[in-house]
Amino acid sequence: MAAKLPDSDENQKAAEPAWLLPVKIAVVVMGIMIFVGLGVIAYTIATRLAGSGDQEVAEAPVVAPAPAAGTTQPVATPFGTVHITVPRGGRLGAAQFDDGRMILQMNLPNRKIRLLVFDLATGKELGAFELAPANN
C-alpha cells in the first residue's frame, strides 16, 4: 500500500493565517495603482513636451508686472527731495505703490497709525489718514 503524502498546496494553505489573503490582494491592487499612476504621469509629461498648439488655453487678464525688489522705475518729472517728518517714537511701516501713488504707513506712539498718500509724479502729499484704536 502506498503512503498518502499531503499535497504541497494543502500544506501551504494550512500554514497561512486567514488575514494574509486580504493583504496579498491589497498589495496587488496597490501595485496596479502605482503602475497606472506612473503611466498617467508619463503621458502628461509627453503631451506637454510635445507642445500641441491645438488646445486653446484660457488667458489670464494682462496685469502690469510689479517691479522686482531693488529696481527703480523712472518718474515722469523729477520732483527733488520730499521731506517727511516722523514724530519721536514713530516708525515707518509698509509702503504700497499703485496707480501713480504711494501709500506710506507710519506707526505712531500710542498704537496710532498714519497713512500718507503721495503722488509719484509730483512728489506732493495728497492727504493722510489717521487711524487710532477705539476707546472702549
Domain assignment present for 12: no
Domain assignment present for 75: no
pLDDT in tens, the chain (136 residues): 556 666 666 666 667 888 999 999 999 999 999 999 999 999 999 998 987 555 555 565 655 566 665 565 665 566 677 777 888 888 888 889 888 899 999 988 888 889 999 988 888 889 999 888 877 6
Domain assignment present for 2: no
Domain assignment present for 3: no
User: Residue 82: its pLDDT value, please?
Assistant: 74
Helix, strand, coil shares of the chain as percentages rounded to 5?
30, 25, 50
**Segments forming the whole domain that contains residue 40:** 20-50
Domain assignment present for 127: yes
Domain assignment present for 86: no
Task: Give the total number of structural domains in the chain.
Answer: 2
pTM of the model: 0.41
Nearest partner of 91 among 120, 119, 69, 112, judged by Cα: 112
Domain assignment present for 59: no
